[in-house]
A = this chain, B = another copy of it.
Amino acid sequence: MTQDPLVIFTPSGKRGRVPAGTTVLTAARRLGVDLDSVCGGRGICSKCQISPGKGRFDKHGVTVAEDALSGINAVEERYDRIRGLKPGRRLGCQAQICSDVVLDVPPESQVHRQVVRKNADARPIEMDPATRRYFVSVPEPDMHEPRGDLERLIEALAGQWRIEGATAAPAVLAKLQQALRKGEWEVTLAVHQGAETEPPRIVDLWPGFRDAPLWGLAIDLGSTTIAAHLTSLEDGHVEASAGIMNPQIRFGEDLMSRVSYSMMNEGGAAEMTTAVRAAIDDLARGLAEEAGIEPRDIVEAVFVCNPVMHHLLLGIDPVELGQAPFALATSDAVSLPARDLDLGAINAGAQVYALPCIAGHVGADAAAVALSERPDQSDDLVLIVDVGTNAELLLGDRARVLACSSPTGPAFEGAQISSGQRAAPGAIEAIRIDPETKAPRFRVIGCDKWSDEDGFWEAVGPGGVTGICGSGIIEAVAEMRIAGLVDARGLIGSAEQTGTNRMIAEGRTHAYLIHDGAEAGGPRITVTQGDIRAIQLAKSALYAGARLLMDERGVEAVDRVVLAGAFGAHISPKHALVLGMIPDVPVERVTSAGNAAGTGARIALCSRAARREVEVLVREITKVETAIEPRFQEHFVAANAIPHATAPFAGLRATQPLPEPSFNASGGGEGGGGRRRRRARD
């Protein structure tokens, strides 16, 4: 008696015997091998392609005969002729197993294929989106058993795909009958399967086999900007990204001024809700157009945002977030139809998922950073700082993760800085000051050359140098500190004290001249005493937040620091350390994670498992409320000095000596930050 053929799938290594004549797809399903199929084995979708091995496989103890699989059949021949099949590939639903065989499942044929992330350290995303395509054949109506088309469709979905008890959006019901008849009783469905408590929901349907991927939007809804990434729900790649200003800026620059707007104006919250939803809708429409896809193919959207943005998006007045105890209306993840958010540009049945909020001041954006960076899986103690108008901080390792937020204000984004501007061409983004001559050289956005290199001015073009962006001002202040132009308390020295006439007297204070474009009709770019004070306030808030988490955790140092956020990617670690934005760690242990919140949104879009993980993780995080913690004010005051009044920053000073001038007596007139600092020392 001959044995059934042995089939071995790679890379999974799953193996087993199946009766001769079994198709590869059936064998894969029986053995629990991850082999994709949208059409359910009808030879239409080509998702189940595999590559059969040939010859001897010592590792598996198998020799594969030439005719281990059945010959290419008419369906495969037709598919190859019309759409083309890569060499050596077979359709798993057509090829039958005749004798022992080794079959390789290429990545694109795996349902749970992995999406490799740019950041080499990061875990890959395993595809497991909530909304997927399913091709189904529906029995025709029978007058003598007059069940509805929907009921037969739902039964077909259960029978052919084991998706039980699906429901249908009202819009689906409206187009169901026509689609079934046009597709001759075959349709492609987009089915959403969210949390276990939500029944599967038919989001949309198309007549016949629909050969186009489904898309999702990963949206990072910030106070200042809204960024959206059009992401494939089939392989997780980002097809197009776009960002726009948050139109709520006209109601207030920062979060608290928007909360105030809502408190002071009847209907103010609703106004801001309408504005932000319309902007998101426009953004989605624009992305679809840019990518050349139908907006109807966008069937999911995932949102990450801080609590105030989160509430305004959901139509909730954020007033409670402006006062203790900072109660969230809802803290858990929210899943609801896109039409409830008036998102009309994307599919009418699209589902929205908003990540959970960690606390009243620590939002779904921080949850997304946690999902992207997984501090709970870190072997060493990591501090993750998402720098923005409001900074989110996470501190933790496998033992425990803590989170807080800190109101840094807009200075890091170039706002409230005399020569400040948003990151755009013409903005100074990097700067170095010669310790001897005190002369600056700099680089602007849109030009790779430094200002002291040949051809710099030609390369910059007629727009010239227009201002300083966030990363530029951080470097400028830090470089001024290194060059001895600013003392530890943040006071700018005079021309006499510093020996350079770049120091310009402005009333009782001084400013440092970086570039005088006045001759060419451009701006005069300086760093003023007020700028230094603004940066001191912002960095003190950031450091104080980090220190508070360290207190809670009972540590005096962290092992490494991750700078997250679009802006975080542009911050020079050394300058951040000189400024004392972050605790003292070796400079090489300060890394950038890019837009981790956006990445977290994308992970949640691609993976239901990740949603469950972040939902659990968020509940396990220890929340620290900076606004009511008396020590926060203490830490804030001590952090006002550059780099710090009490923390030694010995590691930094070992590699980067800092001069210690004192401009107090002669410089005169200090800002608020200076006064505070004095009080703390008294």
List residues of chain A with CB under 8 Å of any chain B CB: 140-151, 165, 168, 170, 173-174, 176-178, 197, 199, 314-317, 319-320, 324-332, 336, 340, 357-360, 623, 625, 628
The answer for the CA separation of A168 and B359 in the assembled complex, in Å, is 20
A28 to chain B, nearest CB (A): 31
Q: Once the chains bind, are A623 and B329 in contact (CB under 8 Å)?
A: no
Q: List 21 A-B contacts (CB under 8 A).
A: A141-B325, A141-B326, A142-B325, A143-B326, A143-B625, A144-B625, A146-B327, A146-B360, A146-B623, A146-B625, A148-B357, A149-B327, A149-B328, A151-B330, A170-B340, A173-B329, A173-B330, A174-B314, A174-B316, A177-B319, A177-B320
Give the one of A149, A178, A324, A327 with max B CB within 10 A: A327
Residues of B within 8 A of A320 (CB): 149, 177
Contacts A317-B177, A325-B141; A149 near B330 (Cβ below 8 A): yes
Cα-based distance from A434 to B173 in the complex (angstroms):
58
Most buried by B among A150, A319, A326: A150
Contacts of A328 in B (CB 8 A): 146-149
Q: Establish whether residues B176 and A315, one from each chain, have CB atoms under 8 Å apart when the complex forms.
A: no
Q: Which residue of chain B has the shortest Cβ distance to A181 in the bound complex?
A: B320
Are A331 and B147 closer than 8 Å at their CB atoms?
yes
What residues on B are CB-neighbors of A199 within 8 Å?
197
CA distance A408 to B324 in the complex (A): 69
Which of B147, B170, B360 has a CB less than 8 Å from the CB of A314? B170
The complex is assembled from copies of this chain, and their number is 2
CA distance A458 to B276 in the complex (A): 70
A330 lies within 8 A of B143 (CB): no
Residues of chain B within 8 A of A174, CB atoms compared: 314-317
Select one of B173, B197, B340 contacting A316, CB under 8 A: B173
Residues of B near A142 (CB, < 8 A) are: 325
**Please, which residue of chain B has its CB at the minimum distance from the CB of A332?**
B151
Question: Is chain A's binding surface mostly helix, strand, loop or mixed?
Answer: loop
**Which residues of chain B come closer than 8 Å to A146, judged between CB atoms?**
325-328, 331, 358-360, 623, 625
Give Cα A314 to B171, complex, Å.
9
Determine the distance from Cα of A332 to Cα of B165 in the docked complex, in whole angstroms: 12
Quick check: B177 and A316 within 8 Å, CB to CB? yes
A-B complex: 10 closest residue pairs judged by Cβ atoms: A148-B331, A141-B327, A146-B359, A148-B328, A150-B330, A148-B330, A143-B325, A141-B325, A170-B340, A174-B315
CB-CB under 8 A from A326, the residues of chain B are 141, 143, 146
- Closest chain B residue, CB of each to CB of A154: B332
Bound-state CA distance A168–B316 (Å) is 13
Question: Closest residue to A270 on the B side, CB-wise?
Answer: B174
Residues in chain B near residue A319, CB distance under 8 A: 177
* Chain B contacts for A358, CB-based, 8 A: 146
Complex CA gap A148/B317 in Å reads 14
Known: A143-B325, A144-B625, A151-B330. 10 other contacts (CB 8 A): A143-B326, A147-B328, A148-B327, A148-B330, A149-B327, A150-B329, A173-B330, A177-B317, A177-B319, A177-B327
The answer, among B170, B178, B332, B357, for a CB contact under 8 Å with A317, is: B178
Given contacts A325-B141, A327-B177, A359-B146, contact A170 B336 (CB under 8 A): yes
**Interface contact A329-B148, CB-CB below 8 Å:** yes
Check B315 against A148 for contact (C-beta < 8 Å).
no
Chain B nearest Cβ from A503, distance in angstroms: 46
Q: How far apart are A352's CB and chain B's nearest CB, in angstroms?
A: 11
* Chain B positions within 8 Å of A330 at CB level: 148-151, 168, 173, 176
A140 to B360, CA, bound (A): 14
Most chain B CB atoms below 10 A, which of A168, A177, A623: A177
Also in contact, A170 and B315, with CB within 8 A (given A143-B325, A143-B628, A144-B623): yes
A173-B335 Cα distance, complex, nearest whole Å: 13
Known contacts A143-B360, A170-B336; A165/B197 CB under 8 A: yes
- Kindly list chain B residues whose C-beta atoms are within 8 Å of the C-beta of A327: 141, 146, 148-149, 177
Cα distance, A178 to B197, chains bound together (Å) = 28
CB distance from A174 to the nearest CB of B (A): 5
Nearest Cβ in chain B — how far from A310, in angstroms? 10
In the complex, the chain B residue whose C-beta lies closest to that of A180 is: B327
Partner of A329, one of B176, B314, B331: B176
Residues of B within 8 A of A178 (CB): 317
| Residue in A150, A199, A320, A329 with the greatest tally of chain B CB atoms within 10 Å | A329
